[in-house]
A and B are shown apart, each in its own frame.
Chain A
């Protein structure tokens, strides 16, 4: 059925019900909040990727810098914390490595990561000054 000009205008500009307007505002607020959170999340993800690359290239000092950025943003993240501890150790900083790896106590990690961490901890214990002296 064809509509007259006035009815057409009214139907075209049919108002949104108040509940829907409130939903729109709420979604817009969440959208703005998400935009606000986004840079920190993405920076951490980029740092993790760069850390993995640096670790792969045996540039452990750079890996430490990158992983520290991730852990600063997501302190409860298991994998970046583990990688940071391992990179500290490989960069020759056993004290920070031990401190970092202690944060993983009672945390669940994947089997591969657990094996890697066990290897690092074993190495650290073997190379600890008092154990070295006893061995000599």
Chain B
């Protein structure tokens, strides 16, 4: 396994960072939570961020936290799917197919919320106002986010991105072939 600085990965996969932050902002808008500052992409750590006020409703907190997970996974999977078949299955992709795979995987691999998001979800769902059911739903989610964050050292985010991109064609082929 070779080492690539996180910064370089962020530059190569910058569309994923932009979509991640856009998704945070979109969910803030949907939940009517004020956005105080946004950085869609920068050369630094973190490579993007959304600073928003603390949502009053813990469910909104959870939604804003996992918004990028839903948006990036769906968008990445659909964009990469038509490229994955020629590139991976038939090893014959053209430049358009490689572009779709790069864009789809870049977007999907930035699906995981950051540890900052995990901390804020944890804080919100462990508060007294949070309903017990939401708390139960949040615990595995926070664990998953931490696993994703730790696993990114071992390329788990890239593996997730590729897995998501390959999932849709696999499912359709096994259902219809």
A residues with CB within 8 A of B: 3, 7-8, 11-14, 16-17, 20, 23-24, 27, 30-31, 34-35, 37-38, 40-42, 44-46, 48-50, 53, 70, 74, 76-80
Contacts and interface: CB of A to CB of B under 8 A. Distances in A.
A35 B78 contact: yes
Contact of B33 (A7, A12, A76): A12
A43 to B, nearest CB: 9
Contacts of B89: 45, 48
A34 B172 contact: no
A130 B121 CA distance: 78
A128 B82 CA distance: 41
B2 interface: no
Given A12-B29, A76-B92, A45 B38 contact: no
Given A41-B169, A44-B85, A30 B79 contact: yes
Contact of B92 (A31, A50, A74): A74
Interface stretch (B4-12, B17-25, B108-116): B17-25
Nearest to A3: B34
26 contacts: A3-B34, A3-B53, A11-B53, A12-B28, A12-B29, A14-B35, A16-B25, A20-B40, A27-B75, A30-B103, A31-B78, A34-B78, A34-B100, A37-B96, A41-B81, A41-B82, A42-B81, A45-B172, A46-B172, A48-B89, A49-B177, A53-B177, A74-B90, A76-B92, A77-B86, A77-B90
A77 B33 CA distance: 51
B34 A80 contact: no
A52 to B, nearest CB: 9
Contacts of B86: 41, 74, 77
Interface string B79-100: 1111111100111100010001
